[in-house]
Structure 1
Amino acid sequence: MGLFSALFGWPLAPIKGTIWVAEQVQEEAERQYYDPGIIRRKLEEVADAREAGTVSDEEAAEMEKELVARLIEANRRPRQEDMG
């Protein structure tokens, strides 16, 4: 059965490799998107921009709302070190 599955599975190898790469990219993107340290730095940047007057209070409030939502979701998600 191994030879049979190898012969018929071989044409799918490039597709499987592409899917694996896409999954790795997605995992890394999500890790960075939900990284609490990155989110906190972005919150600080928003506060600095508000203080400098480069964004309005309304814009800053909207950005902070989105970042806090990400931070809450990050705390709900299982951490990589908990999974492996």
Structure 2
Amino acid sequence: MGLVTGILGLPLAPVRGVLALGELIRQRVEEELHDPASVRRELEAIEHARAAGEISAEDEAEAQQQALNRLTGSPRRPARRRDDRKR
């Protein structure tokens, strides 16, 4: 990088820093979403919620499928509302 380019590009340095930080955050979120340990903790929490009676069997199955889809990278199915399930 030349001296003139460095001086003229200096005002954009904060923008580059924010973009780099945003990219770093995005990478960490992706890693956490697809981390097997994270998915396992979520599945255990779902199982605990079902055992405590906080969610129904249908909600448990749907939440488990969403967690497993995140792990395998399968495309997401649109969530169905309770009204749609009865039809």
- Give the TM-score band, short-chain normalised: 0.7 to 0.9
Question: What's 1:82 paired with?
Answer: none
Structure 1 letter corresponding to 2:63 = M
Matched residue pairs, number? Answer: 74
Question: What's 1:38 paired with?
Answer: 38
CA distance in 2, matches of 1:64, 1:16: 39
TM-score under structure 2 normalisation?
0.77
Question: What's 1:9 paired with?
Answer: 9
Which residues of structure 2 form unaligned runs of 5+? 74-87
> What SS does the corresponding residue of 2:55 show, helix, strand or coil?
coil
Aligned sequence identity (%): 37
Question: What's 1:81 paired with?
Answer: none
Which residues of structure 1 form unaligned runs of 5+? 74-84
Which structure has more helix as a fraction of its residues?
A: 1
> Which structure has more RCO (C-alpha within 8 Å, separation ≥ 6)?
1
